[in-house]
Amino acid sequence: MMHSSLSKVVRFFELLNISNINYFLWKGSTDLCRGLIGDGDLDLYLMESDLVKFDLCVKKFSLFKTTTNSSRSHEGIHDYFLFDDETGSLIHLQIYTKLVFGAKSISLDYNFEFKNTCLLMNNRICHPEYPVYVLPKSIEDAFLYARLAILAYKNKLKFQLEPHFVPDVNVFKSLESIEFSRDIIASFEGISEDSYYVSLKDIGNKICKNPVLIGCSKQNQLPLIIKTAIAKLLQAFKLLNMFPINFHRNLTSGKAIVFIGADGSGKSTQVERLSKLLSTKLNVKYLYMGSGKNETDIFVNFIKLVRKLLGANKSSNNLPQNKKVDNKQKISSSNYLTAVYSFFLARSKRKKIILMNKFHKAGYLLIIDRFPQNQIKGSNDGPLLSNFIQSKSKFLSMIAIYEEKIYSAIVFHEISALVIKFETEDLPKVFERRKDEMTYSNFCMRHQENNALSFHGKNLILTKIDPCKSLPTVNKLVDKQVTNYLGL
């Protein structure tokens, strides 16, 4: 009986079946349900001749392609993700057009390729609960035992096998049906509960020396070892945060999801939810572009603390925009403190923009909370010192000009971005979730300014969502937009 909660991914497999695409799940059928809800991977073998038809199905369901260690090293492996906006799950499909396997470990040792895949295709069956073609359990177990034998031989079997590991009679028959040699079958038949690990190593030794015994050819392993050594070196650089190198799962081209909205509109809730969901299977980089409590720059936070201790009011950051600075008016010390604060804040935003572009080029999915703009001065992540550009104080004028240049240069340029703006007419409801120090009139002004903001870019998609809807509804609306965006 099919679960209704799996409707979208199930419909995708139904489309594959209707389209007469030749595929089967070649491992993990016992955990199929976990894979369908995103808790595991779905490893599918697909006839290479059906790739074009498969790509048409991919476009209909907005799957997006990624790059992984396996797909980098083997041209016969392709990685796709389906973001199910109906369940909030991220499903990973690893597509094999060549049935390669081996002692997958730090060396990415996928150097055994099973040749007669037509035999397997002819033996595939439909899963009793879901419309997914799988291999009979006995045949799937036959490949499992072969892989375990290779792992045992290479001393990469990391877990203790249970006594019930010993293959049953059905597996012996399956080994013969998929053209495993009589010698290998006899070796499997000789496994006992007392010596299964030693027997596995012996079988692995035979397979590695002569892969034809299990119907495979063996590829040269040296290029894989070199690739792995480079990958590990760059991974070390990544851990040191020297530059963004992705050797997990990255998008074929970088993308960014930006949340814009007044305080209390629910930006942080969506950012946290999406980051947690997507980072389990993709390389995700979170960036906070505002000036609130999530700011990480130590200089900004230090000066913010000093201003708070001195009683500096955030509302005095800037003069009203229709009022120019009177050069005869005495400039207070708080203006200078605001200037220092604005300098480090602008510098912090500039660093984050550079970081954003770097991770975008590396194929990361960026999730961004707020974004700097130069349309509204003094609030909503805009410049704070615009009215001091022509101040009699050279210091204030210099800082204001520097700040203006920084904000003027911050645009989306060529990066691909989905901008989600939270806008509503029910201001009192959102005001309940406001910052404590903000008055209702100030909040309404901020919200009107936020509504007036416009964002432009060659590869930018702008969408608006009412945050006053119920949280499940907002989640679904956000997920729908993210699904469509990632599947472009």
* Same domain, residue pair 259 and 212: no
Q: Is residue 231 part of a domain?
A: no
* Same domain, residue pair 134 and 90: yes
**β-strand pairing of 249-251 with 365-369:** unpaired
- In this predicted structure, the answer to whether residue 328 has a pLDDT above a threshold of 60 is no
Ranked by mean pLDDT, the top range of 300-304, 437-441, 477-481 is: 477-481
Instruction: Give the C-alpha separation, 319 to 488, whole Å.
Output: 44
Confidence at residue 128, expressed as pLDDT on a 0 to 100 scale? 92
Least trusted range by pLDDT, from 58-67, 98-107, 331-340: 98-107
- In this predicted structure, the answer to whether residue 133 has a pLDDT above a threshold of 70 is yes
Measured over the CA atoms of residue 296, residue 300, residue 301 and residue 304, the dihedral's sign is negative
Average pLDDT estimate for 417-445: 76
* Same domain, residue pair 181 and 264: no
Q: Which tokens hold the place of 401?
A: 């000009």
Confidence at residue 312, expressed as pLDDT on a 0 to 100 scale? 60
Q: Is residue 162 part of a domain?
A: yes
Least trusted range by pLDDT, from 75-89, 208-222, 359-373, 392-406: 208-222
* Same domain, residue pair 210 and 279: no
Confidence at residue 224, expressed as pLDDT on a 0 to 100 scale? 56
- Sheet with 216-218, edge to edge strand ranges: 99-103, 109-114, 216-218
Average pLDDT estimate for 265-270: 87
- In this predicted structure, the answer to whether residue 240 has a pLDDT above a threshold of 90 is no
Output the CA–CA distances (angstroms, integers) from residue 251 to 60, 95, 162, 417, 466, in the order listed: 19, 16, 39, 13, 29
Q: Is residue 46 part of a domain?
A: yes
Average pLDDT estimate for 174-202: 79
Average pLDDT estimate for 330-339: 76
Average pLDDT estimate for 11-29: 94
Confidence at residue 106, expressed as pLDDT on a 0 to 100 scale? 43
Contact 346, 360 (CB under 8 A): no
Instruction: Give the C-alpha separation, 413 to 436, whole Å.
Output: 36
The helix/strand/coil state of 159 is coil
* Same domain, residue pair 24 and 133: yes
Q: pLDDT: is 314 or 364 the higher one?
A: 364
- In this predicted structure, the answer to whether residue 248 has a pLDDT above a threshold of 60 is no
Least trusted range by pLDDT, from 1-5, 332-336, 351-355: 1-5
Confidence at residue 96, expressed as pLDDT on a 0 to 100 scale? 93
Please count the structural domains in the chain: 2
- In this predicted structure, the answer to whether residue 389 has a pLDDT above a threshold of 60 is yes
Q: Is residue 314 part of a domain?
A: yes
Strands (DSSP E) found in 446-485: 460-465
Closest CA to 111 of 225, 197, 27: 225
Among 207, 223, 239, the domain-final residue is 223
- In this predicted structure, the answer to whether residue 56 has a pLDDT above a threshold of 90 is yes
Q: Is residue 247 part of a domain?
A: no
Least trusted range by pLDDT, from 54-63, 117-126, 313-322, 330-339: 313-322
Average pLDDT, the chain: 80
Contact 14, 2 (CB under 8 A): no
- In this predicted structure, the answer to whether residue 324 has a pLDDT above a threshold of 60 is no
Confidence at residue 5, expressed as pLDDT on a 0 to 100 scale? 52
CA 174 from centroid of its chain's CA atoms: 39
What is the extent of the structural domain holding 208? 4-223
Q: Is residue 235 part of a domain?
A: no
Instruction: Give the C-alpha separation, 46 to 49, whole Å.
Output: 8
**433-453 pLDDT tens trace:** 665 566 777 777 777 777 778
* Same domain, residue pair 155 and 302: no
Contact 71, 77 (CB under 8 A): yes
Confidence at residue 226, expressed as pLDDT on a 0 to 100 scale? 65
Closest CA to 132 of 29, 230, 213: 29
Q: Percent of the chain beyond pLDDT 90?
A: 19
Least trusted range by pLDDT, from 49-53, 232-236, 314-318, 403-407: 314-318
Which CATH number belongs to the domain containing residue 71 in this structure?
A: 3.30.460
Confidence at residue 315, expressed as pLDDT on a 0 to 100 scale? 44
Contact 93, 82 (CB under 8 A): yes
Contact 281, 249 (CB under 8 A): yes
Q: To which residue do tokens 């590990």 refer?
A: 232
DSSP 248-317: SEEESS-EEEEEEE-TTSSHHHHHHHHHHHHTTTS-EEEEE-SSSTT---HHHHHHHHHHHHTT--GGGS
Instruction: Give the C-alpha separation, 472 to 175, whole Å.
Output: 49
Confidence at residue 280, expressed as pLDDT on a 0 to 100 scale? 80
Among 206, 223, 240, the domain-final residue is 223
Q: Is residue 207 part of a domain?
A: yes
Which CATH number belongs to the domain containing residue 389 in this structure?
A: 3.40.50.300
Confidence of residue 49 (pLDDT cuts 50, 70, 90): very high
* Same domain, residue pair 154 and 280: no
* Same domain, residue pair 279 and 141: no
**β-strand pairing of 365-369 with 255-261:** parallel
Among 202, 223, 244, the domain-final residue is 223
Q: pLDDT: is 177 or 204 the higher one?
A: 204
* Same domain, residue pair 155 and 286: no
Confidence at residue 271, expressed as pLDDT on a 0 to 100 scale? 93
Average pLDDT estimate for 58-73: 80
The helix/strand/coil state of 191 is coil
